[in-house]
């Protein structure tokens, strides 16, 4: 690519976002020069905006840049559907742009203005899922204005996106809590840079390194920070890894959740939102069982009328440890792409969409309830693999093979979003459902946790069960049928 100070840039979309972006690029000449807009609107084609020609239609990009060369294209159409983005991306690839970037979707923009700093490389997930749900975040985030907000797992995929969107909600302070110093450092620097470039409001950003397993520290932090809203996203999530380390899954996901809930109750936290998963529905793995127990802890905490609630959804595209980054690595090394079973299907939404709906549910949800994000139709993992292979310019089964590895322990061919005992009910937002929940665990959570505690935390009086995987699964089996030990399950 040419030297950045000489980079020639096309902006695809001559609307408000595109022209705002062009003005910003003009003021920051170091990033390059806008040579033209590309647009499909006949009333704009042939005109000039602030001295920049509007060319088109977009379909003619290859012919247009033959006469007006450019190094980079920035797609500045935040309202574009996934289908429209896929079409535009294919056109720009054929036109041989060295770099293609995209500005955020409408769900990530509160004030209608996208900034250059928010532009990023286009990814397969930008058009593999359904078109994202539109959420009026400015209205949805009214409940955080002037409040102190803490996000656990703030360096993770969902936690960091919640922080990006919360940046624009008018919170007084935003506490970034996590145990990974590098991930917390990265999201802190990103948020500060966004603020410097005019994105969001001037919330004070405070990074905090800590463990949700440290009960006393959580109590100390919440008493010092006086946070009034907590989003709890921190969890161990990788199914096969947690099957290999089931005690740690329960120690972190169950007792960590109990620690943060108790600390929040003690320190007058007004609103608590647990991020849960479809794996908690009729669990077949310890990770799912741990999240089901975590749900019960939060629901019990919300029975007294406090706004302690659960938001459940399926997979998110592109999250750390998810299938898309794995497919990407496999494709870029020449394959094969591995799929567990040809019939496997999962529910997916993008990280920004899931986060915006979580923030919406956090504001409208009542305490002691489970809210479910409408995930649309499930997606075939095999089809997802084929689409990703084509995104990178290869033909599935010809250039890049697909192989089937078989289901791993704890995995299902199909996931359910709610159990047969949970009846979904529509809420005021058409993509957020409330579940009427009846479970076997309800009313027994304290006794279950009492039996799990000496397995996770050493007690001299019950030293024989410490870290014993078989005993852990036996206890879980009593309230979650099908989760018990197998013949191959080792003790430790």
Cite the active site residues. Answer: 279
Angle between helices 469-479 and 445-456 (to 10 degrees): 170
Q: What is the sign of the dihedral through the CA atoms of 28, 20, 76 and 314? A: positive
Distance CA 415, CA 25 (A): 46
Q: Look up residue 221 and give its two tokens.
A: 């932090």
Q: Which of 242-269 are b and which e, b meaning 16 or more Cβ less than 10 Å from the residue's Cβ? A: bbebbbbbbbbbbbbbbbbbbbbeebeb
Strand 229-232 and strand 99-102: the pairing is: unpaired
User: Phi, psi at residue 331, to the nearest 5°?
Assistant: -65, -45
Distance CA 309, CA 365 (A): 7
Q: Look up residue 170 and give its two tokens.
A: 């008018």
Q: Enumerate residues 6+ apart whose C-beta is below 8 A from 455.
A: 247, 250, 465, 466, 467, 468, 471, 472, 475
Q: How many residues does the chain have?
A: 492
146 φψ region: left (φ > 0), alpha (ψ -120 to 50), beta (else): left
In the chain the first and final C-alpha atoms are separated, in Å, by 54
């Amino acid at each position: 690519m040419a030297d950045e100070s000489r980079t020639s840039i096309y902006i695809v979309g001559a609307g408000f976002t595109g022209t705002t972006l062009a003005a910003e690029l003009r003021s920051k000449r170091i990033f390059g020069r806008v040579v033209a807009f590309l647009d499909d609107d006949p009333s704009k084609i042939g005109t000039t905006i602030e001295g920049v020609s509007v060319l088109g239609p977009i379909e003619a990009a290859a012919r247009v840049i033959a006469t007006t060369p450019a190094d980079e294209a920035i797609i500045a159409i935040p309202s574009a559907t996934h289908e429209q983005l896929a079409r535009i991306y294919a056109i720009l690839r054929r036109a041989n742009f060295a770099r293609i970037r995209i500005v955020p979707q409408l769900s990530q923009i509160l004030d209608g203005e996208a900034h250059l700093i928010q532009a990023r490389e286009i990814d397969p997930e930008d058009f593999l899922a359904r078109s994202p749900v539109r959420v009026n975040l400015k209205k949805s985030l009214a409940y955080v204005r002037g409040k102190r907000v803490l996000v656990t797992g703030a360096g993770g995929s969902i936690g960091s996106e919640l922080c990006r969107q919360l940046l624009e909600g008018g919170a007084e302070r935003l506490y970034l809590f996590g145990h990974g110093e590098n991930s917390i450092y990265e999201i802190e620097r990103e948020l500060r840079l966004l603020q410097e470039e005019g994105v969001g409001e001037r919330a004070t950003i405070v990074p905090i390194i800590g463990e949700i397993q440290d009960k006393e520290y959580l109590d100390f932090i919440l008493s010092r920070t006086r946070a009034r809203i907590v989003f709890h996203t921190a969890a161990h999530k990788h199914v096969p890894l947690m099957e290999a380390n089931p005690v740690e899954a329960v120690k972190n996901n169950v007792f960590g959740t109990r620690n943060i809930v108790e600390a929040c109750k003690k320190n007058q936290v007004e609103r608590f939102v647990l991020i849960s998963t479809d794996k908690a529905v009729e669990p077949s793995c310890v990770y799912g069982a741990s999240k089901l127990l975590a749900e019960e802890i939060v629901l019990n905490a919300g029975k007294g009328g406090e706004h302690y609630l659960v938001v459940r959804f399926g997979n998110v595209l592109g999250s750390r440890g998810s299938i898309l980054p794995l497919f990407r690595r496999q494709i870029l090394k020449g394959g094969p792409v591995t799929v567990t079973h040809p019939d496997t299907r999962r529910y997916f939404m993008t990280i920004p969409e899931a986060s915006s709906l979580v923030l919406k549910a956090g504001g409208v949800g009542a305490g002691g309830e489970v809210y479910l994000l409408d995930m649309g139709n499930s997606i075939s993992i095999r089809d997802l693999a084929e689409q990703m292979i084509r995104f990178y310019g290869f033909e599935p089964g010809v250039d890049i093979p697909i192989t089937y590895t078989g289901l791993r322990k704890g995995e299902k061919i199909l996931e359910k979003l709610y159990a047969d005992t949970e009846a979904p009910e529509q809420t005021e937002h058409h993509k957020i459902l409330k579940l009427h929940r009846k479970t076997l665990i309800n009313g027994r959570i304290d006794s279950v946790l009492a039996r799990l505690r000496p397995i996770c935390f050493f007690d001299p009086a019950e030293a024989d069960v410490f870290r014993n995987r078989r005993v852990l699964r036996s206890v879980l089996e009593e309230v979650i049928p099908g989760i018990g030990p197998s013949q191959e399950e080792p003790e430790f």
